[in-house]
Structure 1
């Protein structure tokens, strides 16, 4: 099964849908025959029977409504899960069951986003990259067991361009066998700057194998003219930005944000994105590379940094669960390193 199906000279704009209920919005998506992306969160069942919101599994019956779509792909809902629930409510095995419940064009690995709202400092960014590496490995192994590894899309994470390369290097075996790789933490990223969207794509264009193409999650439409320069590398992007504009328009017009109203905004939004794909390529001026921070001069801070590095290595290898890591354990680990250095 070919999970890509894209012209190397084009970028596919995928429409993110907030649900798969059989109504005006889904009917319009069928009519447009545009590839669709659905979030795992949109297929979740919840209960407040015990007085709080509890995840109860997947509403896979909703997938029956997607049969006539051009194609449907699955996103793991990483950002929503981190912001709303402070983590995934479902396990890797739960997610694999969902991925196996429908012939998705592709389904993305679980990953740990690093937007500023989620990862406040550099150490947290690096920790979440390590978690992403391990999540990719676990998803790929379980996908092979279920026979759905051909449609599995690995996802890399990072804040700086070099972070994404490091993540890709740690997943080199997985990426070598994947023609499409997802790039996370894109939707709130500026276009310009040393950590901007174009800087990340340009860095990956030089770092990844030539045949590897990218899916960029949640890219803003005004970035498309700049991405036109990377049509050989960027296979697809997705967005649900039309929902935001529909909400604002409904508020201004003092009317209900019905599915039919949102569907009109979706169709208009898609027309705008297609027009942007036809625009002349825009290029940014040279952007100097940001050098990584130096090792701390303070011996105790250096021991803390080394302890976190060693823990991240164990997380990536599967010898340590990231949920086991606490601030106290980091300090105890660092104390052992500090003592060994002083005694040595």
Structure 2
């Protein structure tokens, strides 16, 4: 093992970021002209997880050939798409009865699809789905709860791998999520930040500060 430490990694970062602000192009598809144009222009991208979901098979599917595999893309949890589907069709089979996929399905795909980093599952707060302050407050709380769940699953998976792998191998195989702040005004976003940090700090020093 070349002197590498066996077991759980410590002080993990959830994303490797550039020194300057990066603007990502939103792509709601897993290929096609938009992805090709982003690839041709060298644009970093943010791709919706919904683009990869096969509702018939009830699983995420990565295409055998797509320009996304040749470019810098991050994975978005598709919270707004999930909320819109939930409002239109009612209870879903996955996360909190809102998402069509489970948390484990999302995290597994996120760590296998080649994304540079992946966002945490969240409950969005746009007026189309959160019509008043109480609903925004609920979604801010739910977003923090989902972050806690994602970190717990990630820790459990890493802990199993750590029995037979080095800390470096474990950290490279399964990465922690990038938190999402939710809200609709200054106060709700600040409360979301506070809740996010309360959750994250419970998992230090296993994790470094979030990016």
Query: TM exceeds 0.5?
Result: yes
In the alignment, the residues of structure 2 paired with residue 155 and residue 12 of structure 1 have an alpha-carbon distance, to the nearest angstrom, of 16
Please state whether the residue corresponding to 2:55 is helix, strand or coil.
Answer: strand
Q: Is the partner of 1:42 in helix, strand or coil?
A: helix
- Which structure 1 residue ranges, 5 or more long, are not aligned? 48-54, 181-344
Q: Do residues 139 (structure 1) and 150 (structure 2) align?
A: yes
Give the C-alpha shift of residue 103 in structure 1: 3.0
Taking the aligned partners of 2:142 and 2:14, their CA distance within structure 1 comes to 29
Q: Paired residue for 1:92, among 103, 108, 126?
A: 103
Q: Which has the higher helix share?
A: 1
TM-score w.r.t. the length of structure 2 is: 0.70
**1:13 alignment partner, SS class:** coil
Q: Does 1:35 align with 2:36?
A: no
2:113 alignment counterpart: 102
Alignment of 1:173-192 (within 5 A): 173-174=199-200, 177-180=208-211
**In the TM superposition, what is the alpha-carbon distance from 1:65 to its structure 2 partner?**
4.2
More RCO (CA 8 Å, sep 6+):
2
Higher-strand-fraction structure = 1
d(CA) in 2 for partners of 1:133, 1:29? 32
Aligned pair partner of 1:128 in 136, 139, 142: 139
Do the aligned partners of 1:43 and 1:62 also contact (CA within 8 Å) in 2?
no
Equivalent-residue separation in structure 1 for 2:39 and 2:210 (angstroms): 27
- Of 4, 12, 17, the residue aligned with 1:5 is 17
User: Which of structures 1 and 2 has the bigger CA Rg?
Assistant: 1
User: TM-score with structure 1 length normalisation?
Assistant: 0.45
Query: SS of 1:37's equivalent?
Result: strand
State how 1:1-344 maps to structure 2 within 5 Å.
3-8=15-20, 11-21=21-31, 23-47=32-56, 56-61=58-63, 65-69=67-71, 71-86=72-87, 87-144=98-155, 145-146=157-158, 147=171, 150-172=175-197, 173-174=199-200, 177-180=208-211
What are the ranges of 5 or more consecutive residues in structure 2 without an aligned counterpart?
1-12, 88-97, 159-170
Q: Is the alpha carbon distance of 1:94 and 1:7 closer, same or farther for their aligned partners in structure 2, counting shifts above 3 Å? A: same
Tell me how far apart the structure 1 counterparts of residues 175 and 107 of structure 2 sit (CA, whole Å).
13
Deviation of 1:2 (Å): 8.1
Provide the C-alpha distance between the structure 2 equivalents of 1:137 and 1:157, rounded to a whole number of angstroms.
15
